[in-house]
Structure 1
Amino acid sequence: MSIERSIPELAAWYAQYDDVSYRRESPDAYHHELIRTAEALRDDGGLDWDDWLALKQLADEAHVNALQEAVQAHVNDPDT
């Protein structure tokens, strides 16, 4: 992946990506914002198609993991 991580917009994307509490609290909103931000970077010319796909894959995987964690947390403690 040839993404230049030093650009502020991409640093902001990774800050969103690394926000574990947001991911746990609202997996769907978390995923939506990651995709929206990556699309904006792509549309503004900050990312090429392959880099956008790589970010989308990271977001998709994080979303699936967050959903699995939420289900497991509910199974472990159904009262929460």
Structure 2
Amino acid sequence: MSMLSKKSKLEAWYLILYDDLYRADRPEDYHKALIRRADELVLQNIISLEEWQVLKNAADDALCCEIEKSALSKETHFSDLSLKLNNDLAEHWGVS
């Protein structure tokens, strides 16, 4: 396998890794796609097992970050909603 071919296949993998919309919209599918592609690369002897582990770790980290980001976003949304409801009730009852 030429280095150019290996490089282009790894670049294709990284295009998926950096696809923010895919990661945000379908995090589990995104992660599975990254792992599946990494598996294909190692099975085709394009990358070593050590390189596969690096790709897997990057995919796992990206999924964890997206899940944490989503959880924080939901917390912020509920916190903002709760604050707005509390403010609306305070105004309704004339309490500041």
TM-score range, shorter chain: 0.7 to 0.9
Q: What's 1:7 paired with?
A: 7
1:68 equivalent to 2:45? Answer no
| Residue-pair matches, total | 76
Q: What's 1:37 paired with?
A: 37
Determine what percentage of the aligned residue pairs are the same residue. Answer: 28
Q: What's 2:16 paired with?
A: 16
1:26 equivalent to 2:18? Answer no
AA in 1 matched with 2:34: L
Q: What's 1:59 paired with?
A: 59
Q: Secondary structure at the match of 2:71?
A: helix
Q: TM-score, normalised by structure 1?
A: 0.85
Residue by residue, what CA displacement relative to the aligned partner does 1:10-51 show, whole Å, maximum 9, x if unpaired?
A: 110000001111111111111100000000000001100000
Q: TM-score, normalised by structure 2?
A: 0.72
Unaligned runs of 5+ in 2: 82-96
Aligned counterparts of 1:55 and 1:7: Cα–Cα separation in 2: 14
Greater RCO between the two (CA within 8 Å, min separation 6)? 1
Compute the RMSD of aligned alpha carbons. Answer: 1.8
AA in 2 matched with 1:55: L
Aligned counterparts of 1:77 and 1:46: Cα–Cα separation in 2: 44
Aligned counterparts of 2:50 and 2:30: Cα–Cα separation in 1: 22
AA in 2 matched with 1:14: Y
Q: CA deviation at 1:71?
A: 1.0
Q: CA deviation at 1:7?
A: 2.0
Residue by residue, what CA displacement relative to the aligned partner does 1:26-79 show, whole Å, maximum 9, x if unpaired?
A: 111111000000000000011000000000000001100000111111122259
